[in-house]
Structure 1
């Protein structure tokens, strides 16, 4: 195989009297490095992520190699390149390389763990999760419970934001106590690094410790994690299972997620989904494996080849980390600037809207690159009238929740060429806005003005024509 080309990096910007340094974040980065339609404002990086041109070029290079010499590349070169990316992501997480493999996305990782666990035949096992869980993961739990036909049940831990981290941990302990009081056996708890809706930093470190204290397995959904949150201490946090999308905040092509499983738990992950050549049946047998012999662990070998799919995004992980280091100034700078942008941008947006940012007194909820800004719209409660901060806001019946939401989203896309994640929490509509290296604070202000206009129009009943 021909040697891969160097990553196509631009010359670093000149700053401080001509000295080379990382680029200034903002629209200049967007225009030079990213692939956006010039008229589109990407305020929702948290859902799907995106990649710079340089990483797209590397992905296409790997795809070209695969098409030029399919067998030599897929059987021999691909495993070597994959190991380079595994080593790069392991270094970023400060964990052993043999604990890291790749899967297409965090949902696949969560499914892989929950569907590999063996549930006790006495039907007392429970899966614990929080009410702010990502919807796809909630349905995964529902599916596992249904598939196991009573062998395992689930228990939801209700959260109402804003709240302090200690309250989240206390709610977990209360749920474990309630489970055992009901004669159940809490086996595993699924929780986030940064929750999706609302987009808030979750105290996953403290929850992991609480799981260990109470004898539960910790399954950490870091779909919003690597590239946004400092995860260099993952080994010290020591979750039982951890998955994080690289294609969101690490600027890796879709879909790619790192699945971390410490050595002590790798025997629990018997198979990938779908099962492929790396599976080793306990019953023994010597089924033919057409792939070259490997000295890697059973766990790593299991995930190396999972059928004929395009795994070129996995190979780009090391390139994305290099690009972020050489162009953007590295992980620490990116984290600090994005958190600062989200906090200040959220403050300005809330000021324009006449509302507030979702945060607690210790400001831990906004210790990430997404911010939730209240909209001046309220949802009629089940009983009584609205009060407190919601008093005086236009109020809609629960039956209009989806019509109002989807009308605003449609107008954002059709009339303003943007998208902002909307949700209702605590009786109010909220907008989740993502900070990113290609945005500036005026993007937050522009979004707030657009949302304010749409909220006023919704209050006049325009959504009823949707």
Structure 2
């Protein structure tokens, strides 16, 4: 039976959508709020973009700050978490021999930023090998710290990993790295709306997160938080007028990031509507929504593990609103065709109308399925996934 909450979205009812983690899905009510902002902008573009926008961004930032439990002075909007990573890493002053630390669970686009910046000055990217399957959070912390050297200048740590859907113990990692004098950039692409966030208390050097995923804001809504002592050196990925044009009553940090040039800012302005909508969806607000999605994700992986007699790759404590499971052995033997999407993912989509990513991860590479849980999903969706995997697996044996 479909979720009773599915009607809040405009998703294709003929597709079982288990990939909220990639791009999110914006509810009708939030899309309507964005449409109102767009209509207002197009009625009077100069009035909206020159005169009204600064105050509108300030208001949206204040609401976001409350949601993140942070100070609005320390927040700026960016298009996505990758843009936030670019801003931080490209603002670093590195020397030859310096090291940038990441893990083998990181996001490829963000790894590319580290690699490019390091190559320019003769610095080095060091990759901590975090086990997966993983027994507990201690293994994660130990793996990160084992890769630290006296030359480590910055560590980029995922809050919720993209390929493996693990919730990293970022608070403990931040404090441990801090003790070594190392700044942490938290890539929180999947965290806002999926895990409880208190960014002001977490207090890394930098935190960037997407709002178009689990907060369900429109595409193009994300944020970058920077500790006050790190803001002066930060420059946006796109430099514009704010570098040398100050606005009364606003900080240089906000001036640099608030106007990256002509763009559609309505995704940023719709963030308060998304936060309010998420809070109103269930009686218990965001806490109940996060708990519902987490329970659905953990139940789904237990269902798949039982169906295929597979071990769980991590404890429930390391799961939020999505989970990753290894696929059955017959599917590990299928050839890789070199296309953008794995053949198993293509089969699940084409033959069973299932939108779910299949990732190849580890050494040697193994196939995993990463499924998301959002309010529009139900247990029936994961039963359909299990049945589809079984059918594709059976065909793979022929």
**Structure 1 and Structure 2 fold alike (TM over 0.5):** yes
Give the 5 Å matches for 1:208-223. Answer: 208-223=174-189
Does residue 437 (structure 1) correspond to residue 391 (structure 2)? The answer is no
Does residue 354 (structure 1) correspond to residue 319 (structure 2)? The answer is no
Look up the SS of the partner of 1:56 in the other structure: helix
Q: Distance in 1 between matches of 2:248 and 2:211?
A: 26
Does residue 258 (structure 1) correspond to residue 223 (structure 2)? The answer is yes
Does residue 268 (structure 1) correspond to residue 239 (structure 2)? The answer is no
Q: Is the 8 A contact 1:276 1:302 kept in 2?
A: yes
Aligned pair partner of 2:278 in 324, 338, 342: 324
Q: Distance in 1 between matches of 2:340 and 2:84?
A: 34
Match of 2:21 in 1: 46
Aligned pair partner of 1:187 in 120, 140, 153: 153
Q: Distance in 2 between matches of 1:255 and 1:75?
A: 20
Q: Distance in 2 between matches of 1:34 and 1:442?
A: 18
Match of 1:335 in 2: 290
Match of 1:295 in 2: 249
Structure with the greater alpha carbon radius of gyration:
1
Look up the SS of the partner of 1:235 in the other structure: helix
Match of 1:407 in 2: 343
How far off its partner does 1:40 sit? Answer: 1.4
Q: Distance in 2 between matches of 1:405 and 1:307?
A: 34
Q: Distance in 1 between matches of 2:331 and 2:388?
A: 17
How far off its partner does 1:347 sit? Answer: 0.8
> Deviation per CA, 1:353-379, whole angstroms, max 9, x where unpaired?
33233213xx3222x0111122112xx
Q: Distance in 2 between matches of 1:346 and 1:308?
A: 44
Match of 2:109 in 1: 136
Q: Unpaired runs of 5+ in structure 2?
A: none
Q: Is the 8 A contact 2:94 2:121 kept in 1?
A: no
Q: Distance in 2 between matches of 1:236 and 1:394?
A: 44
Aligned pair partner of 1:198 in 148, 154, 164: 164
Q: Is the 8 A contact 2:205 2:226 kept in 1?
A: yes
Does residue 172 (structure 1) correspond to residue 136 (structure 2)? The answer is no
Look up the SS of the partner of 1:113 in the other structure: helix
Q: Is the 8 A contact 1:51 1:252 kept in 2?
A: yes
Aligned pair partner of 1:306 in 249, 255, 260: 260
> Deviation per CA, 1:418-439, whole angstroms, max 9, x where unpaired?
2211123455422111010001
How far off its partner does 1:124 sit? Answer: 2.4
Q: Distance in 2 between matches of 1:253 and 1:145?
A: 33
Match of 1:4 in 2: none
Extract structure 1 runs of 4+ deviating beyond 3 A: 399-405, 424-428
Give the 5 Å matches for 1:142-157. Answer: 142-146=115-119, 148-150=120-122, 152-157=123-128
Aligned pair partner of 2:355 in 402, 419, 422: 419
Q: Unpaired runs of 5+ in structure 1?
A: 1-24, 281-288, 378-392, 461-466
> Deviation per CA, 1:318-373, whole angstroms, max 9, x where unpaired?
0111111123342111111111111111111222233233213xx3222x011112
Deviating more after overlay: 414-423 vs 34-43: 414-423
Match of 1:380 in 2: none
How far off its partner does 1:396 sit? Answer: 2.8
Distance 1:403 1:265, change over 3 A: closer
Look up the SS of the partner of 1:191 in the other structure: strand
Equivalences, count: 394
Look up the SS of the partner of 1:430 in the other structure: strand
Q: Is the 8 A contact 2:131 2:139 kept in 1?
A: no
Distance 1:57 1:403, change over 3 A: closer
> Deviation per CA, 1:356-415, whole angstroms, max 9, x where unpaired?
33213xx3222x0111122112xxxxxxxxxxxxxxx67538x63757962212222222
Match of 1:365 in 2: 318
> Deviation per CA, 1:73-96, whole angstroms, max 9, x where unpaired?
111212212111111111111111
Match of 1:225 in 2: 191
Q: Distance in 1 between matches of 2:281 and 2:293?
A: 15
Q: Distance in 1 between matches of 2:248 and 2:61?
A: 16
> Deviation per CA, 1:57-109, whole angstroms, max 9, x where unpaired?
11111111111011111112122121111111111111111001100000000
Match of 2:210 in 1: 245
Match of 1:277 in 2: 241
How far off its partner does 1:273 sit? Answer: 2.0
Q: Is the 8 A contact 1:39 1:417 kept in 2?
A: yes
Q: Distance in 2 between matches of 1:265 and 1:226?
A: 22
How far off its partner does 1:416 sit? Answer: 1.9
> Deviation per CA, 1:284-343, whole angstroms, max 9, x where unpaired?
xxxxx5x9x431100011111110011110001101111111233421111111111111
